[in-house]
Amino acid sequence: MDVTVEVIGEGTEEHSLDADATYDDLIRAAGYHPQEASALVDGSPVPGDRVVDADEVQVLRLIKGGATDGA
């Protein structure tokens, strides 16, 4: 199965997945750990253990680095 993945704020790429791949597998294929990103289908989050059933998925990074004030 081919899936178009948009990592919000970072771009879009295509991924080929096995027919039984889950959304957690898709997040890993996009280069993230499931604890640091969520998959969205039609703007709504989907469970990571659900089998991918969409051709287009958004990945929202939940954890990003930030600047520190040096204190």
The CATH number of residue 8's host domain is 3.10.20.30
Residue with tokens 């954890």, as numbered in its chain? 63
pTM of the full structure: 0.85
Give the range of the structural domain holding residue 16, as residue numbers without chain letter: 1-59
Asked if residue 70 is part of any domain, the answer here is no
Residue 71 and residue 58: Cα distance in Å, rounded?
36
Asked if residue 68 is part of any domain, the answer here is no
Residue 40 and residue 51: Cα distance in Å, rounded?
13
Instruction: Name the residue among 11, 39, 14 with its Cα closest to residue 27.
Output: 39
Q: How many domains does the chain have?
A: 1
Reported as a single tens digit per residue, the pLDDT across 22-59 is 999 999 999 999 999 999 999 999 999 999 999 999 99
Asked if residue 32 is part of any domain, the answer here is yes
